[in-house]
Chain A
Amino acid sequence: MNKKLFVLFAVMVVMMLATPVFAQGEPAAAAAGTNWVAIASGFSMAIAAGLAALGQGKIAASACEGMARNPAARAGIQVAMILGLAFVESLVLFTLVVVFAKVVK
């Protein structure tokens, strides 16, 4: 009972720590008139994320199929899949960086 309580409290302590709060906040962008930057960044992130999801889905699907056909090659296929997912993800993050560059100016 004591051990379980200890584990529960330890988990709660960990859950209460969200460390990036100690970082600084973002400056807000004010605009008079239509905020085209906000509209454009919303659309561009959505398009980037949508197309990336399609690509990553294809990667994961072929990885699953490869592992099903040849379970012995599982390790190599997993490595290739993770690598492929990371590359597609980084393209979306390039878009995010451009959005941030435009929003913060």
Chain B
Amino acid sequence: MLLRALFQIGLFLLLPPLLLGVVNRTKALFAGRKGLPLLQAYYDLARLLRKGAVYSRTTTWTFRAGPAIGLASVAAAGLMLAVAGEPALVSFAGDFVLFAYLLALARFFTALAALDTGSSFEGMGAAREVSFASMAEPALFVSLIVLARATGTLSLSGMLGPGLAPAWSTAAPALLLAAISLYVVALAENARIPVDDPNTHLELTMIHEVMVLDHSGPDLAFILYGASLKLFLFGAILVRVVLGLRFESLLAAEAAFAAGMVGFAILVGVTESVMARLRLARVPQMLVGASVLSVFALVLLLR
């Protein structure tokens, strides 16, 4: 049991950069390019870790601590992630609240590190990040509560565990709405189109990327790695909700999960290729829409 959980943690720590590779490949395919190698994110991380870091004279220890705190909290949130329906290492009633707040902790310190530079661009990015994130928070919570209600448990492992298969037969509409809402939240939280464009090079329009403009070297590596972990977290939850099946063998479950994750990455890539980034004023409307969808799902279950 413990070994299995540790194995899941290992997967969680090793695989996420690969996810970025799949997303980029998909986008390249759409654009008619050959694209970067699938493992490019690993090369980038390795290169950044060997470098030094430039620090602005305006900054204090907050700027240096930000990336480490961000990475540590996202990784700690991963302790509660049930991959492929297996119970996670840490699982208790209400653990999803801790999960969400750990992500908030990472965001808080990333925003502070951005403000520490005294740059107006990074101030803008931080303002957008915290604003949109606080609007996405209710949607995330209500979607997870829908899962909790449908499966009758209050822990993330339980919500994504064996109770999901019977829940799909009794509460399919609610789960579907929650899954859509979760997908929107995942795009917003991970700075993806249509909320944010990870490829943009104009400081004025960016959100997440502009917050980390001044980070370099190992600090930037921590940030990139943390971002990929976060994408993996949301992807894993979503994939498990959608593929809420019960598998007989562990191998089949893992294989289905891996296929699902690749599918998730391709979906993200497709979304990025076929959509433009929304105007910033439209983003809150989308997030409120996601909250409304999930509340509707909850009403379906509570009535």
Q: Are A and B physically bound partners?
A: no
Chain A interface residues toward B at CB < 8 A: none
Chain B interface residues toward A at CB < 8 A: none
